[in-house]
Structure 1
Amino acid sequence: MEFASLKDWLERLKEFSEKEKTVVLVEGKNDKQKLEKFGITHIYSIKGKKFYDILEELENEDLVIILTDLDKQGEKISSKISHMFQREGIPVDLEFRKSLKNFDIKHIEDIPTDLEESINAGQKNYPLP
């Protein structure tokens, strides 16, 4: 999946998050709060949870978008969770996370809030694949 801009990335993530049985998995409450400001829904924070509890709580989802930070800890979490879900047959999406590298963003909470107004205004320019 290619994104023309960070705004495009956020709009597409918002569209995906609105789909039933799709969840956006983040590390902590700051990440969740930041994404909620952009109208992103179905966000699941793993802070303080054991990996097997996460799997149990999300086992009935059709898609888990893994959006951990792009630091060393986030890489470890992403790798472990994606393998765990895939082993259980739960589809995961890592493309949104990987694409953040193109925008020089390492932490979800560092996404600039100046895009918030235009995204929440409902401007949808990009169809789902």
Structure 2
Amino acid sequence: MKKPAGQNLHFRGRKLGRRLKTELEGIIAVIEKLKHEADEDTVILVEGQRDKQALQQLGITGRILSLREFRNEVRVYLNAERVILLLDFDEEGVEMYKRVRTRLEQQGFKVEPFYYRRLCEMRRFGVYTVEEMGRYLNRVL
């Protein structure tokens, strides 16, 4: 997933400036970290199947579930030590994130906010959904 040394990163057909390039490299590092942290003790929750597929195409494996799958099988996942919520980054997604996070914490789950907060920075690149993030990162990488 790492960009070969010496190649330029582009956004909408234009070479990225130093600041945007640094921000995008930071987001790529977050994705790399997420790949390593997605394990048996962690459940990654996304809104739907296409979001799940987008993460898998980025090389993120582990227990990735849609909200519907998680709701239907919540008893199976009660042993998960933590939950990573990766919902969309638009206003509606942010509000849903807050509601779902509150409910999960009330049920005793530890919700990891780091990844969602960092990936919300994708809005700076015109990316507002997990599905769009997957397509965008696959295109620039």
TM-score bracket, normalised by the shorter chain, equals 0.7 to 0.9
Shift of 1:62: 0.7
Q: Please say if 1:24 is aligned against 2:49.
A: no
Q: Please say if 1:8 is aligned against 2:33.
A: no
Structure 1: unaligned runs, 5 residues or longer: 117-129
**Whole-angstrom distance in 1 between the partners of 2:72 and 2:104:** 12
Shift of 1:9: 1.4
Provide Cα deviations, 1:79-103, integer angstroms capped at 9, x if missing partner. 1221111112210112211112323
| Structure 1 residue aligned with 2:60 | 40
Provide Cα deviations, 1:93-126, integer angstroms capped at 9, x if missing partner. 122111123232321111221356xxxxxxxxxx
Provide Cα deviations, 1:47-79, integer angstroms capped at 9, x if missing partner. xx3985464443221110000001233223211
**Whole-angstrom distance in 2 between the partners of 1:71 and 1:88:** 26
Quote the sequence identity (%). Answer: 28
In the alignment of these two chains, the number of paired residues is 112
Aligned amino acid, residue 110 of structure 2: P
Give 3-state SS (helix, strand or coil) of 2:43's partner. strand
Contact 1:67 1:94 in 2 (8 A): no
Alignment of 1:13-92 (within 5 A): 13-17=34-38, 19-41=39-61, 42-46=63-67, 49=68, 53=72, 55-92=74-111
Equivalent in 114, 125, 128 of residue 139 of structure 2: 114
Say what the alpha-carbon RMSD is for the aligned residues: 2.5
In structure 2, the CA distance between the partners of 1:39 and 1:52, relative to structure 1 (3 Å rule), is closer
In structure 2, the CA distance between the partners of 1:5 and 1:40, relative to structure 1 (3 Å rule), is same
Q: Which has the larger radius of gyration?
A: 2
**Whole-angstrom distance in 1 between the partners of 2:94 and 2:88:** 7
TM-score between both structures, scaled by the size of structure 2: 0.68
